[in-house]
Amino acid sequence: MRTTVGIIGGGPAGLLLARLLHRAGIDSVVLENRDRAYVEQRQRAGILEQGTVDALRACGAGARMDREGLEHHGIELRFDRRGHRIDFPALTGGRSVMVYAQTEVVKDLVALQLAEGGPLLFEARALAVEGADTGSPVVRYTHRGREQTLSCDVVVGCDGFHGIARSAIPEAARRTYERTYPYSWLGILADVPPSCDELIYAHSPRGFALHSMRTPSVSRLYLQVPNGTDPADWSEERIWEELDARFAVDTDWTLERGPITAKSVTPMRSWVTEPMRHGSLFLAGDAAHIVPPTGAKGLNLAVSDVVVLARALEHRQRTGSAELLDAYSDTCLRRVWRAEHFSYFMTTALHTDPEQSDFDGRLQLAQLHRIADSTAAATELAENYTGLPIR
């Protein structure tokens, strides 16, 4: 096949890019390694920044989100057995976030792509990107039992941390920055209505806890656990008891319990590769950067990457100028590092490091009290959480 933009990866980043290019009159082909059922059921993030919500609406993918998503106007920080609400609209000039699961974003974009867009090939395994530095890249892939090629003007790797796109950039031409954290998250899905109207981020001497939700009847909760934890070692009773202890406040608030339908452990890491471009190959989303989930930035960074890239490709088609394409990596990395810093701040302020001293714990509490007591500090958190404008 021949196309203008070859997109490796049919997750939210690849699908949204294909949608944006379609609306700009630029043809593309999406190659997705997994089948449709797997892609539409892959559990990931569920918090959409204001800019992500705006991008989905603008490309015609926001109708079901607006009907079924849960708009949130703040979060609660909980520490010292008290809750402190951060009011997003009041602090950011009206910005908010939307709780709408990545599975649903993907379903909406898949349906639009199949109905209106270019080819979306499921179970198409990308093998290699060749000629990225020649201006005429080719993607080799297997589909329906045979190896095929996709010739492109541009290849975009939206294939995640374990994908093949990044490996097409010579090691000498890229640099990696990484931080690992000495704890993980035990995440659960439970068939019980959320015990809160907005997310609760809890700091406790026992460790961090997060109360989130997927729908009005499904709760999503997380516990800080040691690295290497086996979910099977945590019974339902143990999970609920530990959540109760970490969310405890001196009020009559109650954590509702229900059947746990899924358990998993997520390691915490920060990771960035630079640059995000090599010749005609561009990286977007987890192929280029990973953030710990504390700041809810992973999916939103992927969206901002492809919005910037789509605008740059449209600009080149309209004007013949590659100025915006040439600036793609630098433009995205400014936002990436801001999100990395915010995610690092949220992670280290709220989690209990197993090696930290009592002094470190007091510093954490001092920072949390500063946010609770200072409009300036709360505004900084709210602006970063709801997302900086996509420029």
Catalytic positions: 72, 201, 293, 297, 385
Give the whole-angstrom CA distance, residue 187 versus residue 35.
25
